[in-house]
């Protein structure tokens, strides 16, 4: 059957399952993942196993636009308005989740260092959509929510930067497994990260120059899509992080032309079907048989990531002298994990050799379903305990 037919099936299945799960207040991304799992080779087999290998272009496009969207939130003027406490909490809860997962993999499960730091970096990501859904649905208000919203806005940017460093180190270690030097271990990741950021900055400046001659939203959309594609392609060609470069592209636009909202709102008309296909395909590629092999490690990933988030949030809140409710409950509102983590797991599968890359992807996809099912409920309970959701 033609690949376009399978893409149609993927889109319809994702939409229908998301609609069904919306009736029980579960996030759309959970519906997409479950739909993909059902129609994929592991269950019904509607999407054949040999067809799955034909979808990587969709993943690359979706990841590029996810990173671009995250970069659009990194306005320096807005970041300066945030208190130092919120910035500290954001970094500590992200880095502690990474540290807890990494150390557990190394010392408890004797996993390779490259595998451990990459999955640890993925563990730092939080899904803002599920958290914001709960806040808006129950009209939650208070100091915990006031801290939570900017933290989840910055969290994925911190995660992408940590992932960029981790994958560069992992790649360097694997390329020089027999004769790795400290200079290579430090310099090569730095060069790759600086290169990705410089590319994103250059592409952002190019778009700003081109935008003065663009006529209408349709032409603007076409130019933005072309530059995002080019940014991702150049990054891949020169072994740079396409996530970092596309994020920097978005950050450049939002800081140099902060009032030009069209460069971001216009893209929103293009991305919905890409995101639906991306997450549903992630479910299609979920290999249930591999869960038996990574079961204990997968459970450890789920638990140690939560412990890292809770401890990091508490530590950051205590150092910054935040209210007791923030210290006690913020970490529990940061449990959901979805889009960025799934995307990073796909990148990890290409960076790490078999079977480690595939194991990371399986662990993260399975954990995402757990987090997206339980995360919103735990967030709600934490906000109720903090007195920021009215129960009467």
- Of 219, 210, 225, 222, the closest CA to residue 257 belongs to 210
**Calculated CA dihedral for residues 96, 102, 107, 110, nearest 10 degrees:** 170
Euclidean distance between CA atoms 252 and 207, whole angstroms? 10
Using DSSP, state whether 365 is helix, strand or coil: helix
- Whether residue 279 contacts residue 345, with contact meaning beta carbons closer than 8 Å, is answered with no
User: What single-letter DSSP state applies at residue 104?
Assistant: I
- Of 370, 389, 390, the closest CA to residue 379 belongs to 389
Euclidean distance between CA atoms 72 and 4, whole angstroms? 32
From first CA to last CA, the distance across the chain in angstroms is 55
User: What single-letter DSSP state applies at residue 12?
Assistant: H
Domains of the chain: 56-279+290-385 (1.20.1530)
Q: Which residues, 6 or more positions from 158, have their beta carbon under 8 angstroms from its beta carbon?
A: 90, 91, 94, 95, 124
Instruction: Tell me the pTM.
Output: 0.74
Using DSSP, state whether 138 is helix, strand or coil: coil
* Residue pLDDT tens, the chain, 392 long: 688 888 999 999 999 998 898 787 676 777 888 898 888 888 888 888 778 777 878 888 888 888 888 788 777 776 676 677 888 998 999 999 999 999 999 999 888 898 999 999 999 988 766 676 677 667 888 888 888 877 876 787 788 888 888 887 887 777 655 455 555 556 766 787 788 889 999 999 998 888 778 877 888 888 889 999 999 999 888 878 787 888 889 889 888 887 677 777 888 888 889 888 888 887 887 777 666 666 788 889 999 999 999 999 999 999 988 888 889 999 998 888 877 788 788 888 878 877 788 888 888 888 887 887 777 778 888 888 888 887 65
């Amino acid at each position: 059957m033609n690949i376009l037919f399978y893409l149609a099936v993927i889109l319809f299945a994702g939409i229908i399952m998301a609609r069904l799960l919306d009736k029980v207040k579960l996030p759309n991304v959970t519906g997409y993942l479950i739909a993909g799992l059902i129609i994929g080779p592991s269950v019904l087999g509607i999407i054949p196993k040999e067809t799955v290998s034909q979808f990587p272009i969709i993943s690359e496009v979706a990841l590029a636009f996810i990173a671009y969207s995250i970069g659009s939130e990194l306005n320096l003027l807005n970041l300066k308005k945030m208190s130092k406490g919120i910035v500290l909490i954001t970094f500590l809860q992200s880095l502690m989740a990474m540290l807890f997962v990494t150390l557990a993999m190394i010392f408890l499960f004797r996993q390779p260092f490259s595998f451990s730091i990459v999955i640890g970096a993925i563990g730092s990501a939080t899904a803002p959509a599920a958290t914001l859904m709960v806040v808006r649905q129950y009209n939650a208000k208070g100091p915990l929510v006031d801290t939570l919203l900017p933290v989840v806005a910055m969290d994925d940017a911190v995660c992408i930067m940590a992932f960029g460093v981790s994958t560069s180190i992992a790649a360097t270690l694997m390329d020089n497994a027999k004769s790795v030097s400290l200079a290579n271990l430090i310099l090569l990741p730095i060069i790759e990260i600086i290169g990705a950021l410089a590319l994103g900055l250059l592409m952002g400046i190019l778009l700003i120059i081109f935008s003065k001659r663009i006529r209408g939203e349709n032409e603007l959309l076409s130019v933005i899509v072309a530059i995002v594609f080019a940014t991702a392609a150049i990054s891949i060609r020169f072994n740079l992080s396409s996530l970092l470069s596309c994020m920097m592209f978005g950050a450049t636009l939002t800081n140099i032309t902060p009032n030009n909202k069209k460069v971001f709102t216009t893209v929103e008309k293009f991305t919905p079907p890409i995101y639906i296909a991306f997450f549903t395909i992630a479910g299609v590629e979920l290999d249930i048989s591999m869960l038996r092999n990574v079961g204990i490690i997968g459970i450890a990933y789920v638990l140690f990531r939560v412990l890292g988030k809770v401890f990091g949030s508490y530590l950051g809140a205590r150092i910054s002298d935040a209210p007791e409710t923030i210290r006690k409950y913020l970490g529990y509102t940061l449990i959901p994990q979805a889009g960025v983590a799934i995307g990073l797991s796909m990148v990890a599968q290409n960076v790490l050799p078999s079977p480690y890359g595939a194991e990371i992807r399986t662990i993260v996809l399975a954990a995402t379903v757990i987090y997206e099912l339980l995360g919103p409920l735990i967030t709600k309970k934490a906000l109720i305990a903090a007195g920021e959701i009215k129960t009467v």
